Structures are given as C-alpha cells and as structure tokens.
Amino acid sequence: MAGGGQLLRLLVLLAVVNGLVKAQTGTPCTRLDGQTNSDLAVRISEATDAAIDANPLAYRGLIGINGRLASQFPQFQVNLILIQNDTIINPQEYFLLEDNFDGINVRLIKGLDRYGPTASVNDDFVDVTFGLRCIDPNGAETLYSLTIALNDANDNGPIFVNLPFLFSVEENRVGATVGTVSAVDADEAGNSNAQVTYYLDSLSDFFDRYSFV
C-alpha cells in the first residue's frame, strides 16, 4: 500500500510539473494551442456567493495563454489585465486571474446569475466578453478577446402561471380531467434544469397522484 501511495503521489507530481512546463516553455502571451487568432473562450458555471464560498475552486477555467503570473523564471512571467467592454459586468469585481497547475486560470469570485440582477430581460446574458491585455517580459503587448460563457445552474424553481387554480368536477365522474395546471422554469430551456415535474403534495383516496398533466 505504501508503494502504491508513493506511486500515486509521483504521478500527481509529474502531472503538475507537466502542466507547469507546458505553461512556461511556450513564448509568453502566445496561445497554448498554437493558434494565432485572438479569440479566447472559457466556460464557467453561474454561481451564488454561498456556492462560491463553499467551493471557491469549482468556478474557474483555463484561459489558454503561455506564461505565468508569478514565476521563478522571469522569462516566462506575464502581466494580464482584463478590460471592461460594453457590458454591465465589471471584470475586476467578478473575476480573478491566477496561476494553476495547468496554466493561467480565470476564476469567478462573486455570485453571478445568467438572468441578471433584476427581473428585466435587458440585463440577462449567457456570456460576457472582455478585452484581455497580455504583457510579456520584454514589455510587448498582445490583445485578446476573452469570452466567458456561463453554464446554467439549477437555481430557479418552477413557477405556476395563472394562479389561483380553482377546479370543479361532477360527482361520480371517475377518470374525468379535473383541470389543467401549468408551470414555467427560468433555467436554460432544453436541459434537465428546466424540466418540470408535477405531483400532488397532499394525496387523498379520490385522486391518482400520477394521472394528471
């Protein structure tokens, strides 16, 4: 068991070193994937402040630029600056750039909802795009466009429409439809987060729990 544990630690160490090497051997401020276009993209899940406090490292993504923000090798150290474009989101308020074993990451540090801070659809968004200025050790600058797409979290409960419901049915009408109810969910349409399941909270001998739509 001790030998197995040492081997596991060695593999983890090799993986970390490999990530550091990848980020520190390429030309600083160039893309890790070797492409030359200036469009970068990261996916991070939307989150509440409580969710971030509970697991702060769960909401981050790899930017994909060569270099390190803090390095023992000055020739690989870069300076990254997020630039606010035409968006209501201040990048310095919501995001942090930091080194990780796989390279430079952007991390969500403040609760962010795809549906904005108000009920209006005018501040809804599924992604935000910032400018990203990278300054290499020689002072040369490269400007990127960084789009951060927000994955949908199951953070909206279904809401019944046309409340209140009031139904009536004739007596002895076994199998009759008593009424129809409808609910909507603000989570992203088409995925499981927006799926609505109906059930009766209080059952009686007169109604079948699963026989309504």
Q: What is the structure's pLDDT at 211?
A: 47
Both tokens of residue 203?
């059952």
pLDDT higher than 60, residue 24? no
Tell me which residue of 23, 29, 25 sits closest to 135, measured CA to CA: 29
More confident call, 171 vs 52: 52
Across 70-99, average pLDDT:
89
Q: Which of 53-57, 173-177, 198-202, 209-213 has the lowest average pLDDT?
A: 209-213
pLDDT per residue over 53-72, tens digit each? 999 999 999 999 999 998 78
Give residues with Cβ within 8 angstroms of 153, minimum separation 6: 45, 46, 47, 51, 187, 193
Region(s) of the chain under CATH 2.60.40.60: 2-151
Q: Which CATH class is domain 2-151?
A: mainly beta
pLDDT classification of 212: cutoffs 50, 70, 90: very low
pLDDT per residue over 27-61, tens digit each? 999 999 999 999 999 999 888 899 999 999 999 99
Q: What is the structure's pLDDT at 194?
A: 47
More confident call, 69 vs 8: 69
pLDDT per residue over 97-155, tens digit each? 999 988 999 999 998 887 766 666 566 678 889 999 999 999 999 999 999 988 765 45
Q: What is the structure's pLDDT at 210?
A: 46
Across 157-165, average pLDDT:
64
More confident call, 169 vs 123: 169
Residue 174: phi and psi, rounded to 5, are -65, 130
Across 13-37, average pLDDT:
71
Share of the chain above pLDDT 90, in %: 40
Q: What is the structure's pLDDT at 190?
A: 55
Give residues with Cβ within 8 angstroms of 102, minimum separation 6: 19, 22, 23, 62
Q: What's the whole-number average pLDDT of the chain?
A: 77
Q: What is the structure's pLDDT at 213?
A: 40
